[in-house]
Amino acid sequence: MQKNSFSTIGLIGKYSDSCVEDTLTRLAGYLDNRATTVLLDEATAKVVPGLGLETVSRDELGDSCDLVIVVGGDGTLLNAVRSLAQYGVSVLGINLGHLGFLADISPDCMVQCLDEVLSGNYQEEQRCLLHATIVHDGEVITESAAFNDVVIHKWDIARMIEMETSINGVYVNTIRADGLIVSTPTGSTAYALSGGGPILYPSLEALVLVPICPHTMSNRPIVVHSSSVIEVVVAEHSQPYAQVTCDGQVNLGLTAGDQVVIQTAPQPVRLIHPAGHDHFELLRAKLHWGRRLA
C-alpha cells in the first residue's frame, strides 16, 4: 500500500456543470485505490450524484480534510478558496478548460501529478486572502472574503463615481472613476492587469490599488504592504450607482455613509502545485510572451 501525504481528501466540482462527471469519476476511483478517505462536497453531489462517496457540507470539508481537490476552472477554485481558507486546508486545482492561473493541472496528466503530490513530491504556496467589510455608523453590515480582488465600481449607469481613499488611517486621495480595484498578488493577473496594474509575484506581501478609467490621468496604480488597512468611502451622490464585488462572484450593496474596509485575512490560502511548478512558465503560456506574430 502506498503511503499518502494527505489522509482525508475532499472533492469539489464546477457548480451546475455535468461535464465534471468523467473527471470526478476517474478521480474517485484513483483515490479509492490509494486507500484514501474521500469526501464529496454536497453541492457537487447534486450535479454528479452517482459517485458513491460520503457527502458533506463545505464547512465539514474544511474541518475534516487536509487536502481539497477542485475540478473546474479558476472561478470554481476562487469560490472554494473563499469558503475553505479559514480552515487552513490545502487546495489543488484540476482545470477542465484552458490552462488556468490557479487550477493548473490538466485531466490528461491528473493521475501522474497526483501520484507525485500524494507521495509528498509537491510545492506549496501560501497566498494572502482579502477580507472586505462594509461598515455603517460603526457597525459591520456585510462582509466577504476575496482571493483575487475587491472592486468598488459603478453599475447600471454610464457615469463615474467619486471615492475617498485612506490607507492605515491616512488620507490618500479622492478620485472620480468607474471604480477602484484592490487586488492581491494572485489577482494582479486578473481584472487589475486589464486595468493597467502591475504583475505582482504571488509570494509578495503586497496589495495593489488600481483605478478603473480615472477622470484624471495622473491617478496611477499604487502598491502597498499587505498589512495595510484600506478604507474607501463613496460620496453620497455616487452611492445609488455603486457596489462592491469580490472575485467577480459576490456582490455587496452600498448605502449612503457606508465605508468599505479592505485588509488581509489572518489565515493565508495554501495552494498545492506539482513539483517543478514555474510561475513564469505559466505567465508565458497565458500571456503569450515571446510568441512570434504570423
Query: 80: closest CA among 225, 65, 26?
Result: 65
Q: How far apart are CA 167 and CA 231, in angstroms?
A: 6
C-alpha cell at 87: 480552515
Contacts with 105 (C-beta within 8 Å, 6 or more apart), sequence order: 92, 93, 94, 95, 113, 274
Per-residue pLDDT of the chain (294 residues; tens, 9 = 90+): 467 889 999 999 998 777 799 999 999 999 999 878 999 999 999 988 889 999 999 999 999 999 999 999 999 999 999 999 899 999 999 998 777 899 989 988 999 999 999 999 999 999 999 999 999 999 999 999 999 999 999 987 788 999 999 999 999 999 999 999 999 999 999 999 999 999 999 999 999 999 999 998 899 999 999 999 999 999 988 888 899 999 999 999 998 889 999 999 999 999 999 999 999 999 998 898 987 766
Each domain of the chain, given as residue ranges in start order, spans 8-128+268-287, 130-264
- Which listed residue (74, 149, 247, 258) is catalytic? 74
pLDDT of residue 1: 46
pLDDT of residue 19: 78
Query: Distance of alpha carbon 41 from its chain centroid, rounded?
Result: 18
Domain at 8-128+268-287: CATH code: 3.40.50.10330
**3-state class of 72 per DSSP?**
strand
Contact of 56 with 86, CB cutoff 8 Å? no
C-alpha cell at 67: 487536502
Phi/psi for 288 (5° steps) reads: 60, 40
Q: How far apart are CA 239 and CA 94, in angstroms?
A: 40
Q: How far is CA 120 from CA 24, 95, 103, 282, in A?
A: 22, 21, 19, 22
Contacts with 23 (C-beta within 8 Å, 6 or more apart), sequence order: 13, 71, 94, 96, 107, 110
Greatest Cα-to-Cα distance within the chain, rounded to the nearest angstrom: 66
Helices then strands, counting H and E runs in the chain, come out as: 7, 19
pLDDT of residue 2: 61
Q: Which CATH number fits domain 130-264: 3.40.50.920, 3.40.50.300, 2.60.200.30, 3.40.50.720?
A: 2.60.200.30
Catalytic residue status for 247: no
Place of cell 507521495: 119
Question: How many CB atoms lie under 10 A from the CB of residue 82?
Answer: 23
pLDDT of residue 50: 85
What's the DSSP call for residue 85?
G
